Chain A
Amino acid sequence: MSTHGRDDARRAGQLPAMPERRRLLIGAGLVAGTLALSGSWVRTALAQSAAAADVAQNANFLALSRLLTGWPALDARMGERLYAALSGEDHRFASQVAALADFAKKGGHANVEALTAALDAQQDELAKTLRRIVAAWYTGVVGEGPNARVVIAYADALMFQPVKDVLMPPTYCQAAPNYWVAKPPMA
């Protein structure tokens, strides 16, 4: 108690001796605070515009995917993840998606068969990108063989959808135990 009191008294006696240092400190603090605040504002603004760009890119990818797969209702969340994984695999992917969409629009190709035929004849690189996108949606996997990056969809992968009424992918129960004993339903 008494020691603290002495320390306080000494500090109190020293401080008025350097008022300019205090002003400097306060001023520096204010400048730093302003910079920090504006910095975080800039960062937020940047993040917002980046997010807006992402939303637009994802929407474009989903629209293109609908044309490429022929499935009218695709899961937007799965689309985002496939887009991110495909972009991570190849830095040119974003521009290729834009080029593909542009090519389909200009050529007026109504379905993926017509589009693929046109690309195979004129744009070999884009034809490969098209097949990568279709494969990703159908298998739920991005990349092939040892280069496969990640399993993004399993039961929801498009390849399982046409047979879903009579066949679930392994891991999921189709029906009651021993359902396979009975004759399958006539389609």
Chain B
Amino acid sequence: MKAHSLIRSAGFVGLALALHGTAARADADTDLVKRGEYLARAADCVACHTASGGQPYAGGYGIESPLGTIYSTNITPSKNGGIGNYSEAQFDAALRHGIRADGAHLYPAMPYTSYVKLAPDDVKALYQYFMHGVAPVDGAAKATELPFPFSVRLAMAGWNMLFLDKAPFQPDPAKSVEWNRGAYLVEALEHCSSCHTPRNALMAEQSGQAYAGGALGAWFAPNITADPVSGLGGWSESEVVEYLKTGRVPGKAQAAGPMAEAVEHSLQHLSDADLKAIAVYVKDLPAIRDVHDQQPGHVFGSSNSDEATLRGVAGVSASNSAGGAELFSAVCASCHQPAGSGSKDQYYPSLSHNTTLGRGDTRNLIAVILHGVARKADGKDVFMPGFGADSLVNPLSDQQIADVANYTLKQYGNPALKVSAHDVAAAREGGEPPLLAKLPRLMPWLIGGLVVILGLVAWLFGRRRKG
């Protein structure tokens, strides 16, 4: 009897221990999935891997690259069309080196040049999240079909040889823990350089111009180095945090276009400590000055109005809209106010002391007039209608947009800047295409040669490394 009960007790204890172990492991797994979820937020995977109106992470979002539309893939854990069959090593290779499970190369629209610096623990957490924290969605996303020669994915092997720096993230022991956390977030997870660093003729980030500002379709991702004139030198740390958390800093700038998406989907969800770390690091980025910039973008302009000379004279017509003043009064002033001062709460921002009009680049001014603003952040829906062809308010012509842009620049911004109807037409087409994108039409054979040269370079590089 005694022995029997002993055995039974031992059994209970064993069972309890076993249960306890499972629970602890489950907790650990849940924590890992949770951490992966936070990291995926920080990396803003959802922005590109979700089509508008589609299932989260099911892919199919068209990234309008200058070389053609690149469709994001289904990264849900579905075994049919998703990445359900990926091992952790395969996941790691795709994430950090741009190589799919089938061995094909990804285009660097996937920011693996930044993710290459991810810590192994973070890759593990991301893998756990995508395997267990994301709902599987069956069906592959639309395939990417770039024109020849960009359709040759193998060319990316040569590109990677030239431009993919596989060195892991190295903390700087001379800097604070906070600075290093910021560096890791900025360089790896948030992949800020993908947009804020200008690209060279082969569409790779120019290392000597890190964070000096780059083009992104019709938009311009501005200089975020510590330079007080061209960059964020005039911003306080708390202003940088406020911008990342809310998408705006009254008297300085507002996020629109792709940055509004980054704030909405990613940055506003980061912990305050992480945002502070990003601000600390960004404020310490090596300063790069554009020689054309005379003063910071947010310094330009003051509120003023031409209403007194316009009102009751004539409406907007083909003959009198060239000044832009009538157009401003008709399409801008109802929200931005007749004097361009914005509403009192600055929900409708002031046009003076606004980097969109003061910065030495007019692309964001044109893009915001064409496409408007849509940003959900800080518990608010911020909306400005666009005035492009599909405008719900009032479609404007290229010349009208140029006129009203020039009027606002003269009245509230950097009066040295000028916008032409041609600039607006280019913005409608998604910005001036880089040389590389123009080449296929002009000289297909030259691109073919380039691929061969890249292949040769890659081969030579490989040989030298092995030797």
Chain A residues at the B interface, C-beta cutoff of 8 Å: 75, 77-78, 81, 140, 150-156, 165, 171-177, 179
Contact = CB atoms under 8 A, between A and B. Distances in A.
Given A153-B307, A155-B307, A179-B345, A173 B334 contact: yes
Contacts of B106: none
A173 B343 contact: yes
18 contacts: A81-B309, A150-B312, A151-B312, A153-B307, A155-B307, A156-B305, A156-B308, A156-B311, A156-B338, A172-B335, A172-B337, A173-B335, A173-B337, A174-B343, A176-B345, A176-B347, A176-B380, A177-B383
A77 B347 CA distance: 30
4 nearest A-B pairs in the assembled complex, by CB-CB distance: A176-B347, A77-B308, A78-B308, A150-B312
A39 to B, nearest CB: 31
A155 B308 contact: no
A77 B309 contact: yes
Contact of B312 (A152, A177, A179): A152
A77 B311 CA distance: 11
Which of A77, A78, A151, A176 has the most chain B CB atoms inside 10 A of its CB?
A176
Nearest to A75: B308
B322 interface: no
A103 to B, nearest CB: 28
Interface in B382-408: 383
B309 A140 contact: no
Interface of B: 305, 307-309, 311-312, 333-335, 337-338, 343-345, 347-348, 380-381, 383
Nearest to B306: A77
A174 B344 contact: yes
Contact of A156 (B307, B344, B381): B307
A174 B343 CA distance: 6
A165 B380 contact: no
A46 B312 CA distance: 29
Nearest to A85: B312
A154 B334 contact: no
B311 A154 contact: yes
Contacts of B337: 172-173
A156 B348 CA distance: 19
Given A75-B308, A172-B333, A173-B334, 10 more contacts: A77-B309, A150-B312, A152-B312, A155-B307, A171-B334, A172-B335, A174-B343, A174-B344, A176-B345, A177-B383
Which of B307, B309, B334, B381 has the most chain A CB atoms inside 10 A of its CB?
B307
Contacts of A165: 344
A154 B343 contact: no
Contacts of A171: 334
A81 B309 CA distance: 8
A81 B345 contact: no
B308 A173 contact: no
Contacts of B311: 140, 151-154, 156
Contacts of A174: 343-344
A81 B310 CA distance: 10
Contacts of A78: 308
A175 B345 contact: yes
Nearest to B336: A173
A32 to B, nearest CB: 35
A8 B68 CA distance: 68
A174 B341 CA distance: 12
A173 B348 contact: yes
Contacts of A154: 307, 311
Contacts of A175: 343-345, 347
A137 B143 CA distance: 66
A123 B381 CA distance: 59
B264 to A, nearest CB: 17
B307 to A, nearest CB: 6
B308 A81 contact: yes
A17 B82 CA distance: 103
Contacts of A150: 312
Given A155-B338, A156-B338, A176 B343 contact: yes
Which of A155, A173, A174 has the most chain B CB atoms inside 10 A of its CB?
A173
Contacts of A77: 308-309
B382 to A, nearest CB: 8
A174 B380 CA distance: 17
Nearest to A79: B308
Contacts of B381: 177
Contacts of B347: 175-177, 179
A54 B380 CA distance: 52
A91 to B, nearest CB: 21
Contacts of B338: 155-156, 172
Given A156-B305, A179-B345, A172 B334 contact: yes
A3 to B, nearest CB: 47
Contacts of B312: 81, 150-152
B232 to A, nearest CB: 26
Contacts of A179: 345, 347
Contacts of A176: 343, 345, 347-348, 380
B276 to A, nearest CB: 27
Contacts of A173: 334-335, 337, 343, 348
A174 B347 CA distance: 10
A137 to B, nearest CB: 12
A179 B345 CA distance: 10
